[in-house]
A and B are shown apart, each in its own frame.
Chain A
Amino acid sequence: MVETNNILDIRNLHKDFYIKGQRREVLAGVDLTVKQGEIVAIVGASGCGKSTLLKLITTLEDITSGEILLDGDPVNGPSPKCSMIFQEARLFPWLSVKQNIEFVIPDSVPKAEKEKMVEHYVELVGLSEFMNAVPNQLSGGMQQRVSIARALATRPQLLLLDEPFGALDAFTRMNMQQELLRIWKEDNTTMVIVTHDIDEAIFLSNRVVVMGKNPGVVRSIVPVNLPFPRDRTDSAFLEIRGNIMREFLDS
């Protein structure tokens, strides 16, 4: 059951952007490994390169230097082993919930199996009643659930989430965090979640990666060895929170 191999292996990753011919170093030697079945949270100030890091993994941006190994192989092009969830749900407004999910399942999958998968994942995110609704009929939280179902329906080994609950209100956000943990337990997908909410990071993850800014580096990795579900008012929780806070203040 317990796998020890790394699903994600990032080695000495550099990324420069050129703005009007001027070089801007956004990531300066990032090293990070993620084990199968883990949830890793990445926190850091806005602009430290969190989104860029995820974009490099999905090849939405090209690496300047360094290496990203996905399940042992260097990435070149978007991999079926990895799905990405953005801050906005990014659903197709003209397609129903069902069609939105079906859309990303490869056409090689037989129709009957496709339907089964869609049903399974819609149920997993608790939206069975809304199979035929279109995105505009759903709340922001529900749309993000569809986006999660869509990502899982491609059966990725690694799920990348870029501030997935950042646009939601505090109550919906807490609800979605619990949902995500429930989905993680049922589906056992490895997750890398970017957030600017330290509580969210501790609540969800096995390890919190703290990133520094200008240029973006991994400043420290804080393990969170607390049993799920976690209590945000628990003293151990607050201690870890304090440690991470201190990392930010030290800079």
Chain B
Amino acid sequence: MFDLQKKNNLKQKRIRIIIAICFPILVLLFWQYASTVGLIKASLVPAPLNIVKTFLSHLESGKLWKNLSVSFVRVACGYFIGAVAGVLVGFLMGLFKSVNAALNGIVSVLRPIPTIALVPIVILLAGIGFSSKVIIIAIGSFWPVLLNTIHGIQTVDNKLIEVAYTYRINKLKTTFKIIVPSAIPAILTGLRLGMSSAWMSVVAAEMIASSTGIGYLITLSRETANARVMYMCVLVIGVIGLFIDKGLTRLERYYLMKTRGIADVK
């Protein structure tokens, strides 16, 4: 009975994998076909092969890498600031009820604002230079780091706190040796989501008077009505975002596996 079920599961799993691979390929094939025979307008939706060609030519000319590297630097700076601020404020809000009471209202109002809506305000306050782009990205990465840090600290297992109490562990040690370490898995999740979010904010950030960057390439391609570059950039952003997320997920699991012998904590 159990064996039978297992077999079935394996079979179903295989079928699902085949579907997962075949369906996107079918979509691509249809897209290619529709675009070539003129079912959809190539100037609006270019064929996949043409997008690949554009990608290769941009890669060869070094144009893609040049713009990407600029974006990477901006993301790195913004992420660093956003993540550090997120962890710090998260600790303060998670650990101190009074800080939480003071900031919770402000956070609730500011958090749902899309980063792109803040662009004009940031320009007003910080001008149109490097710093305003970094600020936009920092804000984008700040929220997931903040919320996950708070969550991690607030959901510390009360059973461990009871243990600390019965062994007369002082407050400082309880905070830094129990509460903080138990929040680490959640903080890592926050840092990963923050990185994804930083990368997603790059286009919004580079809408600010840029002459370089992957976001700028998109703006430029819109102005020159170059659909191929537009699609190429969007897909490149998507793929890089995917790699960032997968890479950080692995790193996170590796770290937890190495330090706690288990990857799925919380």
Q: Which residues of A contact B (CB under 8 A)?
A: 58, 60, 77-78, 80, 83-84, 86, 88, 90, 92-94, 103-104, 106, 133-137, 154
Contacts and interface: CB of A to CB of B under 8 A. Distances in A.
A83 B167 contact: yes
A60 B162 contact: yes
B181 A134 contact: no
Given A60-B166, A136-B262, A94 B159 contact: no
Given A94-B181, A103-B177, A137 B168 contact: no
A78 B160 contact: no
Contacts of A94: 181-182, 184, 259-260
A86 to B, nearest CB: 7
A134 B261 contact: yes
A129 to B, nearest CB: 16
Interface string B165-186: 1111100000001100110100
A180 B162 CA distance: 23
A136 B166 contact: no
B168 A78 contact: yes
Nearest to A94: B181
A78 B159 contact: no
B178 to A, nearest CB: 7
Nearest to B258: A134
A104 B167 contact: yes
Contacts of B265: 93
B184 A90 contact: no
B160 A134 contact: no
A23 B265 CA distance: 38
Given A94-B184, A104-B167, A154-B167, A134 B260 contact: yes
Contact of B165 (A78, A80, A133): A78
7 contacts: A78-B165, A83-B166, A94-B181, A94-B182, A104-B167, A134-B260, A136-B262
Contacts of A78: 165-168
Contact of B160 (A80, A92, A133): A92
Residue in B159, B261, B265 with the greatest tally of chain A CB atoms within 10 Å: B261
B26 interface: no
Nearest to A84: B166
A58 B259 CA distance: 31
Contacts of B167: 78, 83, 103-104, 154
B163 interface: yes
Contacts of B181: 92, 94
A133 B262 CA distance: 12
Contacts of B184: 94
B260 A136 contact: yes
Contacts of A90: 159-160, 162-163
Interface string B128-171: 00000000000000000000000000000001101101111100
Contacts of A92: 160, 178, 181
A60 B165 CA distance: 8
Contacts of A103: 167, 169, 177
Interface string B182-193: 101000000000
A93 B168 contact: no
A21 to B, nearest CB: 23
Interface string B108-145: 00000000000000000000000000000000000000
A77 B259 CA distance: 34
A159 B5 CA distance: 47
Given A58-B166, A78-B168, 16 more contacts: A60-B162, A60-B166, A78-B166, A83-B166, A86-B163, A90-B159, A90-B160, A94-B181, A94-B260, A103-B167, A103-B177, A104-B167, A104-B169, A133-B261, A136-B261, A137-B261
A56 to B, nearest CB: 12
A108 to B, nearest CB: 12
A58 B163 CA distance: 10
B159 A86 contact: yes
Q: Which of B159, B168, B178, B182 has the most CB of A within 10 A?
A: B168
B8 to A, nearest CB: 29
Chain B CB count within 10 A is highest, among A83, A103, A106, for A103
A84 B167 CA distance: 9
Interface string B52-80: 00000000000000000000000000000
Nearest to B178: A92
A93 B261 CA distance: 8
A242 B51 CA distance: 83
A37 B197 CA distance: 61
A137 B166 CA distance: 25
A151 to B, nearest CB: 9
A94 B168 CA distance: 20
For the complex of A and B, the 3 pairs showing the least CB-CB separation, nearest first, are: A136-B261, A104-B167, A136-B262
